[in-house]
Structure 1
Amino acid sequence: MAARDYGQYSGITQAMEIVGERWALLIVRDLLVGPRRYGELAAGLPRIPTNILAARLKELQAAGVIRRAPRSRVIVYELTPYGRELEPVILALGAWGFKAMGDPREEQIITPDSMTMDLRTTFRPDVAATLPATAYAAHFGSTELLIRVDGPSLDVRRGDGAADLAFASGPGIRRLIAGELAPDRAIESGVVQVLSGQGNLLHRFADTFHLAA
């Protein structure tokens, strides 16, 4: 199925032959957020060539990782149960990669699905379980997410809405999540801009979403 054949008989080799091609895991990442139409996948991965996206989708389908499904007169791509088993792998990779992240390059952007998965990666349910339920309206450039934390449960959805704290930030939010920047300093330096609500709730956000680099 895969263009790459390592010539070895092992589970890791087999996994790499299925999802080791460029862009494959990012397609899986975005589908972990929810089913997507072809155009939505392309918009979420703005640098992927259309022929590569089509090839990866075909390969992942052949491997039983994703499937095409009709939804309201349109076709969407969604993960199969086998594909959803990749979620802990994606989250672990995200946590591992987070430790190597430096300052963002000028051309790097945040997409709704990439930030949703980053929030899942850094979510600390054990800490959240000790805190009051809180809703955050987060604006990362053109990306708007409504983040609801209720005990150990996390719900992240696109769009705006009623929230205890609304704030705006960019890729520099990584410094807050990594613990490199204290919440008060993040506000003072402009890395985070409080739009409404109590600014001290940013401390709660930083406690709830934290992954030391």
Structure 2
Amino acid sequence: MKKRFFVTGTDTDAGKTFVTVGLLEAAKRAGLRTMGLKPVSAGASLIDGELKNDDALQIQQACSVKMHYSQVNPIVFEPAIAPHIASQQANKLVTVSRLEGYIKGAMLTPHDFALVEGAGGWRVPLNDRELLSDLVKALDLPVILVVNMKLGCLNHAILTAESIARDSLKIAGWVANNGDLQKMSCYDENLATLKAILPAPLLSELPWCTESEKLNLEFDRILEAL
């Protein structure tokens, strides 16, 4: 049976791509046909005559199912600003139905494990009427929540979880991501609070680490738990 998830974060730079790539590579090690998509991105450079986003490139490289860049990241904007503002500046309307069509088209390619990575946080606007969360509702995907473990994460994580529940979607689990060299003050107490309040299992505490073997083991464990 295919497994598909949407990856969101508590804010920008929470570690969504780090988790997405890590899980795709873990699934690949497990022998699964893996697919990763980032339907909309803002912040790109011209590479070989085509605008490409670094996060989307990492996701494309981590997949075992080979797809053209435009399938992985169909909507890409050059400035690193909110997607709906970038689309206004480019005079290019981005809608839920359009993104849903791209994703469902890409998912016709045979696969076992697929991740769709969001942009920013849960309530990112796509246009004047629609939010990125509306896309997840249309796709009806379970959500993996990446929590950036820093000051303010309690409020961000709890509000995000409440919003996901309000949209009648399931949180498959959450990841405590420690991206900094040093843990936040009162880390253990903050983690315990989130474990008590968030309505989903803690999949992993990802440490700041440069040792690939340790990180691979953590992502293997997350994959098994999903």
TM-score of the pair, normalised by structure 1:
0.29
Greater RCO (Cα-Cα under 8 Å, separation 6 or more): 2
